Amino acid sequence: MAMALPKTITATARAIAAGELTSRTATEAALGRVERDNASLGALLHVDAQGALARADQIDSQRRAGQPLGRLGGVPITLKDNISLVGMPMTAGSRILAGYRPPFDATVAARVSAAGAIVIGKCNLDEFAMGSSNETSAFGPVRNPHDLDRVPGGSSGGSAVAVAAGFGFGSLGSDTGGSIRLPAALCGVVGLKPTYGRVSRYGVVAFASSLDQVGPLATTSRDAARLLGVIAGPCRHDSTCADHSVPDFEAALGRESLAGIRVGVAREHLDGADGLDSAMSRRVRERLERLRDLGADLVDVELPHSHASIAAYYLIATAEASANLARYDGVRFGHRSAAHGGDLEQLIARSRGEGFGREVKRRIMLGTYALSSGYYDAYYRKACQVRRLVHDDFVAAFSHCDLLAGPVSPVTAWRLAEKTGDPLAMYLMDVFTTAVNLAGLPALSMPMPVSAGEMPAGLHLIGRAFDETTLLGVADCLERSDREPGEATP
Ligand code: GLN
Protein backbone atom coordinates (compact mmCIF):
# COMPACT_ATOMS: atom_id res chain seq x y z
CA MET A 1 0.00 0.00 0.00
CA ALA A 2 1.27 3.48 -0.81
CA MET A 3 2.43 5.45 2.19
CA ALA A 4 0.08 8.25 3.28
CA LEU A 5 1.55 11.58 2.26
CA PRO A 6 2.64 13.94 5.02
CA LYS A 7 0.35 16.94 5.50
CA THR A 8 2.77 19.70 6.42
CA ILE A 9 5.73 21.54 4.94
CA THR A 10 8.09 20.44 7.68
CA ALA A 11 7.07 16.76 7.50
CA THR A 12 7.22 16.75 3.69
CA ALA A 13 10.64 18.42 3.57
CA ARG A 14 11.91 15.95 6.14
CA ALA A 15 10.53 12.91 4.29
CA ILE A 16 12.01 14.12 0.99
CA ALA A 17 15.40 14.80 2.56
CA ALA A 18 15.33 11.33 4.14
CA GLY A 19 14.52 9.67 0.83
CA GLU A 20 11.15 8.36 2.10
CA LEU A 21 9.22 10.44 -0.40
CA THR A 22 10.10 12.03 -3.71
CA SER A 23 9.35 15.61 -4.55
CA ARG A 24 7.75 14.27 -7.74
CA THR A 25 5.21 12.26 -5.72
CA ALA A 26 4.40 15.23 -3.47
CA THR A 27 4.13 17.58 -6.44
CA GLU A 28 1.99 15.19 -8.48
CA ALA A 29 -0.37 14.80 -5.52
CA ALA A 30 -0.77 18.58 -5.23
CA LEU A 31 -1.27 18.96 -8.98
CA GLY A 32 -3.84 16.15 -8.89
CA ARG A 33 -5.89 18.09 -6.36
CA VAL A 34 -5.61 21.22 -8.46
CA GLU A 35 -6.83 19.28 -11.47
CA ARG A 36 -9.78 17.92 -9.51
CA ASP A 37 -10.90 20.96 -7.51
CA ASN A 38 -9.58 24.21 -8.95
CA ALA A 39 -12.40 24.61 -11.43
CA SER A 40 -14.95 24.74 -8.60
CA LEU A 41 -12.80 26.73 -6.15
CA GLY A 42 -11.15 29.26 -8.48
CA ALA A 43 -8.10 29.51 -6.22
CA LEU A 44 -5.33 29.38 -8.80
CA LEU A 45 -5.06 31.70 -11.79
CA HIS A 46 -2.02 29.99 -13.35
CA VAL A 47 -0.66 26.50 -12.91
CA ASP A 48 2.73 25.44 -14.22
CA ALA A 49 2.52 21.65 -13.98
CA GLN A 50 5.37 20.98 -16.39
CA GLY A 51 7.75 23.45 -14.80
CA ALA A 52 6.84 22.18 -11.32
CA LEU A 53 7.50 18.54 -12.22
CA ALA A 54 10.79 19.38 -13.91
CA ARG A 55 11.88 21.25 -10.79
CA ALA A 56 10.73 18.37 -8.57
CA ASP A 57 12.82 15.93 -10.61
CA GLN A 58 15.78 18.23 -10.23
CA ILE A 59 15.36 18.22 -6.42
CA ASP A 60 15.03 14.43 -6.44
CA SER A 61 18.26 14.02 -8.38
CA GLN A 62 19.99 16.51 -6.08
CA ARG A 63 18.97 14.29 -3.20
CA ARG A 64 20.25 11.17 -4.89
CA ALA A 65 23.55 12.96 -5.40
CA GLY A 66 23.66 13.66 -1.67
CA GLN A 67 23.36 17.43 -2.04
CA PRO A 68 21.58 19.51 0.64
CA LEU A 69 18.02 20.44 -0.40
CA GLY A 70 17.16 23.57 1.56
CA ARG A 71 14.46 24.20 4.16
CA LEU A 72 11.65 23.85 1.62
CA GLY A 73 13.43 21.20 -0.45
CA GLY A 74 10.97 19.64 -2.87
CA VAL A 75 7.83 21.02 -1.18
CA PRO A 76 5.03 22.25 -3.50
CA ILE A 77 3.69 25.71 -2.62
CA THR A 78 1.85 28.61 -4.29
CA LEU A 79 2.26 32.40 -4.46
CA LYS A 80 -0.35 35.14 -4.47
CA ASP A 81 -0.52 36.58 -7.96
CA ASN A 82 0.84 39.96 -6.90
CA ILE A 83 4.29 38.45 -6.35
CA SER A 84 6.63 38.49 -9.36
CA LEU A 85 8.01 35.16 -10.49
CA VAL A 86 9.85 34.71 -13.77
CA GLY A 87 8.25 32.05 -15.96
CA MET A 88 4.62 32.72 -14.99
CA PRO A 89 2.31 35.60 -15.81
CA MET A 90 1.30 38.04 -13.07
CA THR A 91 -2.09 39.76 -13.06
CA ALA A 92 -2.60 41.08 -9.51
CA GLY A 93 -6.21 40.07 -10.16
CA SER A 94 -6.58 42.90 -12.68
CA ARG A 95 -7.41 43.07 -16.35
CA ILE A 96 -4.93 45.93 -16.63
CA LEU A 97 -2.07 43.46 -16.12
CA ALA A 98 -3.47 40.72 -18.35
CA GLY A 99 -0.63 39.34 -20.43
CA TYR A 100 2.09 40.80 -18.21
CA ARG A 101 5.07 38.55 -17.50
CA PRO A 102 7.46 39.80 -14.81
CA PRO A 103 11.06 40.07 -16.02
CA PHE A 104 12.51 39.48 -12.55
CA ASP A 105 11.72 37.57 -9.35
CA ALA A 106 10.39 39.24 -6.21
CA THR A 107 12.88 38.77 -3.37
CA VAL A 108 10.41 36.48 -1.57
CA ALA A 109 9.95 34.37 -4.71
CA ALA A 110 13.72 34.09 -5.19
CA ARG A 111 14.11 33.08 -1.54
CA VAL A 112 11.51 30.29 -1.56
CA SER A 113 12.99 28.96 -4.79
CA ALA A 114 16.51 29.08 -3.37
CA ALA A 115 15.21 27.13 -0.36
CA GLY A 116 14.06 24.37 -2.73
CA ALA A 117 10.30 25.05 -2.92
CA ILE A 118 8.35 23.99 -5.99
CA VAL A 119 6.02 26.85 -6.96
CA ILE A 120 3.12 25.10 -8.69
CA GLY A 121 0.99 28.15 -9.39
CA LYS A 122 -0.19 31.67 -8.67
CA CYS A 123 -3.23 32.40 -6.52
CA ASN A 124 -6.32 34.44 -7.27
CA LEU A 125 -6.82 37.61 -5.21
CA ASP A 126 -8.96 40.70 -5.01
CA GLU A 127 -7.95 43.15 -7.74
CA PHE A 128 -4.70 44.79 -6.58
CA ALA A 129 -5.39 43.17 -3.19
CA MET A 130 -8.30 45.56 -2.61
CA GLY A 131 -11.09 43.65 -0.98
CA SER A 132 -12.10 41.41 1.90
CA SER A 133 -13.93 38.63 0.06
CA ASN A 134 -11.96 37.87 -3.10
CA GLU A 135 -14.89 39.00 -5.21
CA THR A 136 -13.18 42.01 -6.83
CA SER A 137 -10.82 39.82 -8.87
CA ALA A 138 -11.21 40.40 -12.60
CA PHE A 139 -10.91 36.62 -13.03
CA GLY A 140 -13.87 35.51 -10.96
CA PRO A 141 -14.42 34.89 -7.28
CA VAL A 142 -12.74 32.25 -5.15
CA ARG A 143 -15.03 29.92 -3.20
CA ASN A 144 -14.66 28.72 0.37
CA PRO A 145 -13.89 24.97 0.35
CA HIS A 146 -15.93 24.51 3.55
CA ASP A 147 -19.07 25.83 1.79
CA LEU A 148 -18.94 26.67 -1.90
CA ASP A 149 -21.68 29.29 -1.53
CA ARG A 150 -19.52 31.33 0.81
CA VAL A 151 -16.55 33.64 0.33
CA PRO A 152 -13.04 32.62 1.39
CA GLY A 153 -12.19 36.12 2.65
CA GLY A 154 -9.75 38.41 0.92
CA SER A 155 -7.66 39.59 -0.47
CA SER A 156 -5.37 36.53 -0.30
CA GLY A 157 -8.41 34.26 -0.74
CA GLY A 158 -6.74 32.13 -3.40
CA SER A 159 -3.76 31.50 -1.13
CA ALA A 160 -5.91 30.48 1.85
CA VAL A 161 -8.03 28.17 -0.30
CA ALA A 162 -4.94 26.69 -1.98
CA VAL A 163 -3.62 25.72 1.46
CA ALA A 164 -6.99 24.46 2.72
CA ALA A 165 -7.55 22.42 -0.45
CA GLY A 166 -4.07 20.90 -0.55
CA PHE A 167 -2.88 22.75 -3.65
CA GLY A 168 0.59 22.64 -2.14
CA PHE A 169 1.41 22.85 1.55
CA GLY A 170 1.81 26.59 1.98
CA SER A 171 1.42 29.89 0.21
CA LEU A 172 2.67 33.45 0.37
CA GLY A 173 0.09 36.21 0.60
CA SER A 174 0.21 39.94 1.29
CA ASP A 175 -1.47 41.88 4.06
CA THR A 176 -2.13 45.62 3.86
CA GLY A 177 -5.13 45.73 6.19
CA GLY A 178 -5.85 42.08 6.97
CA SER A 179 -5.49 40.28 3.67
CA ILE A 180 -3.53 37.31 5.01
CA ARG A 181 -5.34 36.98 8.32
CA LEU A 182 -8.95 37.36 7.19
CA PRO A 183 -8.89 34.61 4.52
CA ALA A 184 -6.79 32.39 6.81
CA ALA A 185 -9.50 32.81 9.47
CA LEU A 186 -12.42 32.17 7.12
CA CYS A 187 -10.79 29.10 5.57
CA GLY A 188 -9.37 27.56 8.76
CA VAL A 189 -5.62 27.86 8.10
CA VAL A 190 -2.75 29.71 9.79
CA GLY A 191 -1.80 33.11 8.35
CA LEU A 192 0.92 35.43 9.59
CA LYS A 193 1.44 39.11 8.80
CA PRO A 194 5.02 39.89 9.78
CA THR A 195 6.23 43.16 11.30
CA TYR A 196 6.47 45.96 8.74
CA GLY A 197 10.06 45.75 7.53
CA ARG A 198 10.58 42.09 8.36
CA VAL A 199 10.05 40.91 4.78
CA SER A 200 11.10 42.52 1.50
CA ARG A 201 8.40 43.98 -0.74
CA TYR A 202 10.68 44.11 -3.79
CA GLY A 203 8.84 42.67 -6.77
CA VAL A 204 5.48 42.66 -4.99
CA VAL A 205 2.77 44.81 -6.60
CA ALA A 206 2.48 47.89 -4.40
CA PHE A 207 -0.94 48.71 -2.95
CA ALA A 208 -0.20 50.94 0.07
CA SER A 209 3.54 50.99 0.60
CA SER A 210 3.55 52.03 4.26
CA LEU A 211 1.23 49.12 5.15
CA ASP A 212 1.97 46.24 2.72
CA GLN A 213 3.76 43.18 4.03
CA VAL A 214 4.21 39.68 2.61
CA GLY A 215 3.68 36.66 4.84
CA PRO A 216 2.99 32.93 4.96
CA LEU A 217 -0.22 30.90 4.98
CA ALA A 218 0.07 27.26 6.03
CA THR A 219 -1.68 24.54 7.98
CA THR A 220 0.41 24.78 11.17
CA SER A 221 2.31 27.49 13.03
CA ARG A 222 5.46 25.44 12.62
CA ASP A 223 5.05 25.60 8.85
CA ALA A 224 4.37 29.33 9.03
CA ALA A 225 7.57 29.70 11.07
CA ARG A 226 9.49 27.72 8.45
CA LEU A 227 8.21 29.89 5.59
CA LEU A 228 8.78 33.13 7.50
CA GLY A 229 12.35 32.10 8.27
CA VAL A 230 12.97 31.58 4.56
CA ILE A 231 11.54 34.89 3.33
CA ALA A 232 12.52 37.27 6.18
CA GLY A 233 15.56 39.48 6.39
CA PRO A 234 17.29 42.48 4.84
CA CYS A 235 17.03 43.08 1.11
CA ARG A 236 19.22 45.53 -0.76
CA HIS A 237 16.39 46.27 -3.21
CA ASP A 238 13.95 47.41 -0.51
CA SER A 239 15.07 50.21 1.77
CA THR A 240 12.00 49.75 4.00
CA CYS A 241 13.15 46.22 4.78
CA ALA A 242 14.84 46.36 8.19
CA ASP A 243 18.44 45.37 8.81
CA HIS A 244 17.44 43.25 11.82
CA SER A 245 18.89 39.79 12.01
CA VAL A 246 16.33 37.02 11.61
CA PRO A 247 15.79 34.81 14.67
CA ASP A 248 15.40 31.05 14.34
CA PHE A 249 11.59 31.08 14.51
CA GLU A 250 11.33 27.31 14.68
CA ALA A 251 13.72 27.02 17.61
CA ALA A 252 11.20 28.88 19.79
CA LEU A 253 8.46 26.30 19.18
CA GLY A 254 7.62 23.20 21.17
CA ARG A 255 6.91 24.69 24.58
CA GLU A 256 4.53 22.72 26.79
CA SER A 257 3.37 25.57 29.00
CA LEU A 258 2.64 29.26 28.66
CA ALA A 259 3.64 30.07 32.24
CA GLY A 260 4.98 33.60 32.46
CA ILE A 261 3.24 34.79 29.29
CA ARG A 262 0.83 37.70 29.71
CA VAL A 263 -1.97 37.74 27.17
CA GLY A 264 -3.73 41.09 26.81
CA VAL A 265 -7.45 41.14 26.11
CA ALA A 266 -8.83 44.45 24.86
CA ARG A 267 -12.48 45.10 25.60
CA GLU A 268 -12.62 47.00 22.30
CA HIS A 269 -12.00 43.64 20.61
CA LEU A 270 -14.51 41.67 22.66
CA ASP A 271 -17.38 42.93 24.87
CA GLY A 272 -17.11 46.45 23.52
CA ALA A 273 -16.87 45.50 19.85
CA ASP A 274 -19.67 46.63 17.56
CA GLY A 275 -20.94 43.97 15.19
CA LEU A 276 -19.11 41.09 16.84
CA ASP A 277 -21.15 37.94 16.42
CA SER A 278 -22.02 36.31 19.76
CA ALA A 279 -20.87 32.87 18.62
CA MET A 280 -17.54 34.40 17.60
CA SER A 281 -17.15 36.01 20.99
CA ARG A 282 -17.93 32.67 22.68
CA ARG A 283 -15.32 30.89 20.59
CA VAL A 284 -12.69 33.50 21.44
CA ARG A 285 -13.50 33.22 25.14
CA GLU A 286 -13.07 29.46 24.98
CA ARG A 287 -9.60 30.03 23.49
CA LEU A 288 -8.73 32.54 26.21
CA GLU A 289 -9.68 29.94 28.82
CA ARG A 290 -7.47 27.44 27.07
CA LEU A 291 -4.58 29.91 27.11
CA ARG A 292 -5.14 30.32 30.83
CA ASP A 293 -5.22 26.53 31.32
CA LEU A 294 -1.87 26.39 29.59
CA GLY A 295 -0.43 28.75 32.17
CA ALA A 296 -0.81 32.19 30.57
CA ASP A 297 -2.00 35.18 32.60
CA LEU A 298 -4.90 37.09 31.06
CA VAL A 299 -4.68 40.87 31.49
CA ASP A 300 -7.27 43.49 30.57
CA VAL A 301 -5.88 46.20 28.33
CA GLU A 302 -7.34 49.16 26.45
CA LEU A 303 -7.06 50.22 22.83
CA PRO A 304 -9.08 53.43 23.09
CA HIS A 305 -8.56 54.56 19.49
CA SER A 306 -9.43 51.29 17.81
CA HIS A 307 -12.80 52.65 16.67
CA ALA A 308 -10.92 55.13 14.44
CA SER A 309 -8.54 52.68 12.80
CA ILE A 310 -10.83 51.60 9.96
CA ALA A 311 -11.41 55.20 8.89
CA ALA A 312 -7.71 56.07 9.12
CA TYR A 313 -6.79 52.91 7.24
CA TYR A 314 -9.19 53.54 4.35
CA LEU A 315 -7.85 57.10 3.97
CA ILE A 316 -4.16 56.19 4.12
CA ALA A 317 -4.48 53.02 2.03
CA THR A 318 -6.49 54.73 -0.70
CA ALA A 319 -4.18 57.76 -0.73
CA GLU A 320 -1.12 55.56 -1.20
CA ALA A 321 -2.92 53.37 -3.72
CA SER A 322 -3.90 56.36 -5.86
CA ALA A 323 -0.19 57.23 -6.15
CA ASN A 324 1.01 53.65 -6.63
CA LEU A 325 -1.53 52.87 -9.34
CA ALA A 326 -0.56 55.89 -11.42
CA ARG A 327 2.05 53.71 -13.14
CA TYR A 328 -0.63 51.69 -14.99
CA ASP A 329 -0.97 53.94 -17.99
CA GLY A 330 -1.31 51.48 -20.86
CA VAL A 331 1.90 52.85 -22.33
CA ARG A 332 4.77 51.04 -20.68
CA PHE A 333 3.11 47.71 -19.89
CA GLY A 334 -0.23 46.13 -19.28
CA HIS A 335 -3.55 46.69 -21.02
CA ARG A 336 -3.67 49.36 -23.73
CA SER A 337 -6.97 50.50 -25.15
CA ALA A 338 -7.45 49.39 -28.73
CA ALA A 339 -9.68 52.36 -29.55
CA HIS A 340 -8.09 54.86 -31.93
CA GLY A 341 -8.04 58.63 -31.90
CA GLY A 342 -7.32 61.29 -29.34
CA ASP A 343 -4.13 62.32 -27.60
CA LEU A 344 -1.90 60.60 -25.06
CA GLU A 345 -4.01 61.67 -22.12
CA GLN A 346 -7.09 60.17 -23.71
CA LEU A 347 -5.23 56.94 -24.43
CA ILE A 348 -4.20 56.72 -20.78
CA ALA A 349 -7.72 57.53 -19.56
CA ARG A 350 -9.27 54.92 -21.87
CA SER A 351 -6.73 52.25 -20.95
CA ARG A 352 -7.27 52.83 -17.24
CA GLY A 353 -11.03 53.05 -17.67
CA GLU A 354 -11.08 49.67 -19.42
CA GLY A 355 -8.39 48.02 -17.31
CA PHE A 356 -9.42 48.77 -13.73
CA GLY A 357 -12.46 47.32 -12.00
CA ARG A 358 -15.03 49.23 -9.95
CA GLU A 359 -13.49 48.82 -6.52
CA VAL A 360 -10.05 49.90 -7.74
CA LYS A 361 -11.55 52.97 -9.39
CA ARG A 362 -13.41 53.78 -6.19
CA ARG A 363 -10.15 53.58 -4.22
CA ILE A 364 -8.24 55.73 -6.71
CA MET A 365 -10.94 58.39 -6.54
CA LEU A 366 -11.15 58.32 -2.74
CA GLY A 367 -7.37 58.50 -2.44
CA THR A 368 -6.98 61.27 -4.98
CA TYR A 369 -9.66 63.25 -3.17
CA ALA A 370 -8.03 62.73 0.24
CA LEU A 371 -4.72 64.03 -1.10
CA SER A 372 -6.05 66.95 -3.10
CA SER A 373 -5.17 70.47 -2.06
CA GLY A 374 -7.66 71.87 0.40
CA TYR A 375 -8.62 68.41 1.66
CA TYR A 376 -5.20 67.07 2.56
CA ASP A 377 -5.20 68.50 6.09
CA ALA A 378 -8.76 67.46 6.83
CA TYR A 379 -8.34 63.89 5.65
CA TYR A 380 -4.86 62.56 4.94
CA ARG A 381 -3.02 64.49 7.64
CA LYS A 382 -5.74 63.75 10.19
CA ALA A 383 -5.57 60.05 9.31
CA CYS A 384 -1.80 60.08 9.87
CA GLN A 385 -2.35 61.64 13.29
CA VAL A 386 -4.89 58.94 14.16
CA ARG A 387 -2.37 56.35 12.98
CA ARG A 388 0.08 57.61 15.61
CA LEU A 389 -2.59 57.36 18.35
CA VAL A 390 -3.44 53.80 17.28
CA HIS A 391 0.25 52.92 17.42
CA ASP A 392 0.64 54.51 20.85
CA ASP A 393 -2.35 52.51 22.17
CA PHE A 394 -0.48 49.33 21.31
CA VAL A 395 2.74 50.55 22.89
CA ALA A 396 0.82 51.32 26.10
CA ALA A 397 -0.93 47.94 26.01
CA PHE A 398 2.37 46.11 25.56
CA SER A 399 3.68 47.55 28.79
CA HIS A 400 1.17 45.24 30.50
CA CYS A 401 1.30 42.17 28.27
CA ASP A 402 3.44 40.22 25.81
CA LEU A 403 0.80 39.77 23.13
CA LEU A 404 -2.88 40.48 22.53
CA ALA A 405 -5.57 37.94 21.70
CA GLY A 406 -9.00 38.47 20.11
CA PRO A 407 -11.07 37.68 17.04
CA VAL A 408 -9.73 38.19 13.50
CA SER A 409 -13.15 38.94 12.03
CA PRO A 410 -16.52 39.90 13.50
CA VAL A 411 -18.31 37.03 11.69
CA THR A 412 -17.50 33.79 9.87
CA ALA A 413 -17.57 33.45 6.06
CA TRP A 414 -20.55 35.24 4.53
CA ARG A 415 -22.37 34.30 1.34
CA LEU A 416 -21.06 35.24 -2.09
CA ALA A 417 -22.55 38.56 -3.26
CA GLU A 418 -23.93 39.27 0.23
CA LYS A 419 -21.83 42.41 0.74
CA THR A 420 -20.71 43.38 -2.74
CA GLY A 421 -23.39 46.08 -3.03
CA ASP A 422 -22.37 47.71 0.24
CA PRO A 423 -18.67 48.69 0.30
CA LEU A 424 -18.90 50.02 3.84
CA ALA A 425 -20.23 46.71 5.17
CA MET A 426 -17.35 45.01 3.36
CA TYR A 427 -14.79 47.43 4.84
CA LEU A 428 -16.12 46.70 8.32
CA MET A 429 -14.93 43.11 8.02
CA ASP A 430 -11.47 44.59 8.70
CA VAL A 431 -12.34 46.15 12.08
CA PHE A 432 -9.89 44.03 14.02
CA THR A 433 -7.11 43.76 11.47
CA THR A 434 -6.29 47.22 10.07
CA ALA A 435 -4.97 48.73 13.32
CA VAL A 436 -2.15 46.19 13.25
CA ASN A 437 -0.99 47.42 9.83
CA LEU A 438 -1.27 51.06 10.86
CA ALA A 439 1.03 50.27 13.79
CA GLY A 440 3.34 48.03 11.72
CA LEU A 441 3.02 45.11 14.16
CA PRO A 442 3.15 41.36 13.55
CA ALA A 443 -0.08 39.37 13.95
CA LEU A 444 -1.33 35.93 13.11
CA SER A 445 -4.61 34.16 12.63
CA MET A 446 -4.91 30.58 13.80
CA PRO A 447 -7.94 28.34 13.44
CA MET A 448 -10.26 28.01 16.43
CA PRO A 449 -11.93 24.65 17.04
CA VAL A 450 -14.98 24.07 14.85
CA SER A 451 -18.14 22.40 16.20
CA ALA A 452 -20.67 20.64 14.01
CA GLY A 453 -22.39 23.07 11.67
CA GLU A 454 -19.89 25.87 12.28
CA MET A 455 -17.64 27.56 9.75
CA PRO A 456 -13.94 28.14 10.51
CA ALA A 457 -12.92 31.24 12.47
CA GLY A 458 -9.58 32.72 13.48
CA LEU A 459 -8.00 33.64 16.79
CA HIS A 460 -5.97 36.83 16.34
CA LEU A 461 -2.65 37.08 18.14
CA ILE A 462 -0.93 40.47 17.91
CA GLY A 463 2.67 40.96 19.01
CA ARG A 464 5.31 43.60 19.64
CA ALA A 465 7.28 44.82 16.65
CA PHE A 466 9.78 42.17 15.49
CA ASP A 467 8.47 39.65 18.02
CA GLU A 468 6.95 37.08 15.69
CA THR A 469 8.71 34.50 17.88
CA THR A 470 6.28 34.98 20.79
CA LEU A 471 3.26 34.78 18.48
CA LEU A 472 4.45 31.58 16.84
CA GLY A 473 5.47 30.03 20.16
CA VAL A 474 2.05 30.67 21.73
CA ALA A 475 0.18 29.55 18.61
CA ASP A 476 2.19 26.34 18.35
CA CYS A 477 1.62 25.51 22.03
CA LEU A 478 -2.12 26.15 21.70
CA GLU A 479 -2.30 24.12 18.49
CA ARG A 480 -0.59 21.10 20.03
CA SER A 481 -2.79 21.29 23.13
CA ASP A 482 -5.80 20.67 20.86
CA ARG A 483 -4.45 17.41 19.49
CA GLU A 484 -5.72 14.19 20.96
CA PRO A 485 -3.23 12.56 23.32
CA GLY A 486 -1.01 10.30 21.25
CA GLU A 487 -2.07 11.95 18.00
CA ALA A 488 0.98 12.30 15.79
CA THR A 489 2.20 15.62 14.48
CA PRO A 490 0.74 15.92 11.00
N1 GLN B 1 -9.68 44.43 3.03
C2 GLN B 1 -8.70 45.48 3.08
C3 GLN B 1 -8.83 46.37 1.87
O4 GLN B 1 -9.62 46.08 1.03
C5 GLN B 1 -7.33 44.91 3.22
C6 GLN B 1 -6.72 44.48 1.97
C7 GLN B 1 -5.32 43.98 2.12
O8 GLN B 1 -4.85 43.72 3.23
N9 GLN B 1 -4.64 43.87 1.02
O10 GLN B 1 -8.14 47.36 1.77
Q: In this predicted model, what pLDDT tens digit does every residue of 385-430 receive, in sequence order?
A: 999 999 999 999 999 999 999 999 999 999 999 999 999 999 999 9
CA 486 to ligand 1 centroid distance, Å: 40
Is the bond into 137 cis (omega within 30 degrees of 0)? no
Q: What is the pLDDT of residue 413?
A: 98
CA–CA gap between residue 229 and residue 206 (Å, rounded)? 23
* Total length of the chain: 490
Domains in the chain: ranges and CATH = 11-306+390-482 (3.90.1300.10)
CA 436 to ligand 1 centroid distance, Å: 12
Strand segments, DSSP code E, in 228-382 are 262-266, 297-301
Percentage of the chain exceeding pLDDT 70? 98
129 lines ligand 1 (CB under 6 A): yes
Residue bearing the CA closest to ligand 1, atom 5: 177
Is the dihedral angle over the CA atoms 482, 484, 488, 490 positive or is it negative? Answer: negative
CA–CA gap between residue 314 and residue 383 (Å, rounded)? 9
CA 176 to ligand 1 centroid distance, Å: 6
Using the atom order of ligand 1, give the atom closest to the CA of residue 176.
Answer: 8
CA 317 to ligand 1 centroid distance, Å: 8
CA 440 to ligand 1 centroid distance, Å: 15
Using the atom order of ligand 1, give the atom closest to the CA of residue 182.
Answer: 1
Whether 430 and 313 have beta carbons less than 8 Å apart is answered as yes
Q: What is the pLDDT of residue 488?
A: 64
130 lines ligand 1 (CB under 6 A): yes
Q: Best substitution site from 83, 123, 126 to test ligand 1's pocket, by max atoms within 8 Å of Cβ?
A: 126
3-state secondary structure 195-251: CCCCECCCCECCCCCCCCCEEEEECCHHHHHHHHHHHECCCCCCCCCCCCCCCCHHH
330 lines ligand 1 (CB under 6 A): no
CA 480 to ligand 1 centroid distance, Å: 31
Q: What is the pLDDT of residue 465?
A: 98
Q: What is the pLDDT of residue 1?
A: 45
80 flagged as catalytic: yes
Using the atom order of ligand 1, give the atom closest to the CA of residue 154.
Answer: 1
210 flagged as catalytic: no
CA 448 to ligand 1 centroid distance, Å: 22
Q: What is the pLDDT of residue 333?
A: 86
CA 177 to ligand 1 centroid distance, Å: 5
7 flagged as catalytic: no
Q: Best substitution site from 127, 175, 176 to test ligand 1's pocket, by max atoms within 8 Å of Cβ?
A: 176
pLDDT < 70: residue spans in the chain: 1-3, 485-490
Percentage of the chain exceeding pLDDT 90? 93
Using the atom order of ligand 1, give the atom closest to the CA of residue 175.
Answer: 8
| pTM as predicted | 0.97
The catalytic residue among 179, 200, 306, 322 is 179
The catalytic residue among 23, 84, 132, 155 is 155
What order do you get walking across the sheet with 443-447 strand by strand? 44-47, 118-123, 76-80, 170-174, 214-218, 190-193, 443-447, 458-463, 403-407, 262-266, 297-301
132 lines ligand 1 (CB under 6 A): yes
Judged on CB neighbours under 10 Å (0-12, 13-18, 19+), 343 is: exposed
317 lines ligand 1 (CB under 6 A): yes
430 lines ligand 1 (CB under 6 A): yes
Whether 445 and 470 have beta carbons less than 8 Å apart is answered as no
Q: Best substitution site from 156, 172, 174, 179 to test ligand 1's pocket, by max atoms within 8 Å of Cβ?
A: 179
Judged on CB neighbours under 10 Å (0-12, 13-18, 19+), 97 is: buried
